[in-house]
Amino acid sequence: MEKSKILILTPRFPYPVVGGDRLRIYRICKELSKYYTLDLLSLCDSIEDLNFIVKNDHVFDKIFRIY
């Protein structure tokens, strides 16, 4: 059976996972990804967040960023 899809919207890009709100977003999404296919739409605070290369950790199917 195919997993249902969820679009996750975040006010801050969760990578790199370095604690605080990023860690909370990541852990919630990691758990949800066991049951759903997740896409991420996230606001980026900086050019570094916008250009950050995310390794495939199997949490998000697609990642979209807005700066």
Confidence tier at 50 by pLDDT (50, 70, 90): very high
pLDDT digit string, tens, across residues 8-48: 999 999 999 998 999 999 999 999 999 999 999 999 999 99
Q: For the chain, what are the domain ranges?
A: 4-66
Query: What distance in Å separates the CA atoms of residue 39 and residue 8, rounded to the nearest whole number?
Result: 6
- Residue 47, exposed/middle/buried by CB under 10 A (0-12, 13-18, 19+)? exposed
Query: What distance in Å separates the CA atoms of residue 41 and residue 65, rounded to the nearest whole number?
Result: 6
Statement: residue 1 has pLDDT above 90: no
**pLDDT for position 41:** 99
Please tell me the pTM assigned to this model: 0.91
Neighbouring residues of 1: CB distance < 8 A, sequence distance ≥ 6: none
**pLDDT for position 19:** 85
